[in-house]
Chains A and B, each alone.
Chain A
Amino acid sequence: NAGVTQTPKFQVLKTGQSMTLQCAQDMNHNSMYWYRQDPGMGLRLIYYSASEGTTDKGEVPNGYNVSRLNKREFSLRLESAAPSQTSVYFCASNTQGDGANVLTFGAGSRLTVL
């Protein structure tokens, strides 16, 4: 099983450029998440989708948009990239009701904004 697949793994952007990070899971999970990881700040939730057709803001949504394309796919878009968005981005998924809310993570996408 592939689990959670993120693309691209690495990306360099110039300030003001746009891009979309793609995420897909093959575990039939209902919920999907986007986190960013920065040194000394741990993982911070950007957006999440509790179920297909719904999306909600997390802690740090400014500058980002998301689309839950279908049950498998959840994309993160940067409309006008800023240096402050230089980070490692992780997609994760889970299914509520398994009693524990355990997350399965992708390998990460390292984004640098110049």
Chain B
Amino acid sequence: AQSVTQLGSHVSVSEGALVLLRCNYSSSVPPYLFWYVQYPNQGLQLLLKYTSAATLVKGINGFEAEFKKSETSFHLTKPSAHMSDAAEYFCAVSESGGYQKVTFGIGTKLQVIP
């Protein structure tokens, strides 16, 4: 069975500082991995996805994530936080091959301090 663990339900960073949101996954087959972002009172939007092409994936708004099979990790980073990055971020996994459901982590709320 697939699962996702997000370490830290709340993360605070100063504006301009590095953003690092952690995600570890479990999957019995090669996974698809995703980061979604949710702004207040909105639905989730795709930030980036890994589908077994490049291990370093670039997404929207300057975010990127690196797939590390040996560590079963898919951490999300951004070099310099902006106030507009304040949101909740969800890591998700889906097993590749045929139809598979998408399983989400519990989410990490990012606070950006001016």
Residue pairs across A and B with CB atoms within 8 Å: the count is 58
Known contacts A105-B45, A108-B42; is-contact A96 B98 (Cβ 8 Å): yes
B30-52: contact bitstring with A at CB < 8 Å (1 yes, 0 no)?
00101010000111111001010
A113 within 8 A of B: no
B104 within 8 A of A: yes
**A105 in complex: contacting residue of B6, B43, B49, B98, CB < 8 Å:** B43
Complex Cα–Cα for A44 and B90 (A): 12
A98's nearest neighbour on chain B, judged by CB, is B51
Are the C-beta atoms of A40 and B106 separated by less than 8 Å?
A: yes
Complex Cα–Cα for A96 and B100 (A): 8
Known contacts A101-B94, A102-B34; is-contact A42 B106 (Cβ 8 Å): yes
Known contacts A42-B90, A43-B90, A90-B43; is-contact A101 B102 (Cβ 8 Å): yes
Complex Cα–Cα for A42 and B45 (A): 15
Are the C-beta atoms of A42 and B107 separated by less than 8 Å?
A: yes
Are the C-beta atoms of A96 and B99 separated by less than 8 Å?
A: yes
> Chain B contacts of A105 at CB under 8 A?
43-45
Complex Cα–Cα for A102 and B47 (A): 11
A40-57: contact bitstring with B at CB < 8 Å (1 yes, 0 no)?
111111001010000000
Closest 3 CB pairs of A and B: A105-B43, A42-B106, A43-B104
Additional pairs, 7, CB under 8 Å, beyond known A48-B101, A96-B98, A105-B43: A41-B106, A42-B105, A45-B101, A45-B102, A96-B100, A100-B34, A101-B100
Interface, chain B (partner A; CB < 8 A): 6, 9, 32, 34, 36, 41-46, 49, 51, 90, 94, 98-107
Some 29 contacts from A to B, beta carbons below 8 A apart, are A4-B43, A40-B106, A41-B106, A42-B6, A42-B105, A42-B106, A42-B107, A43-B104, A43-B107, A44-B104, A45-B101, A45-B102, A45-B103, A90-B44, A94-B102, A96-B100, A100-B32, A100-B34, A100-B49, A100-B51, A101-B100, A102-B34, A102-B49, A103-B44, A103-B46, A105-B45, A107-B42, A107-B43, A108-B43
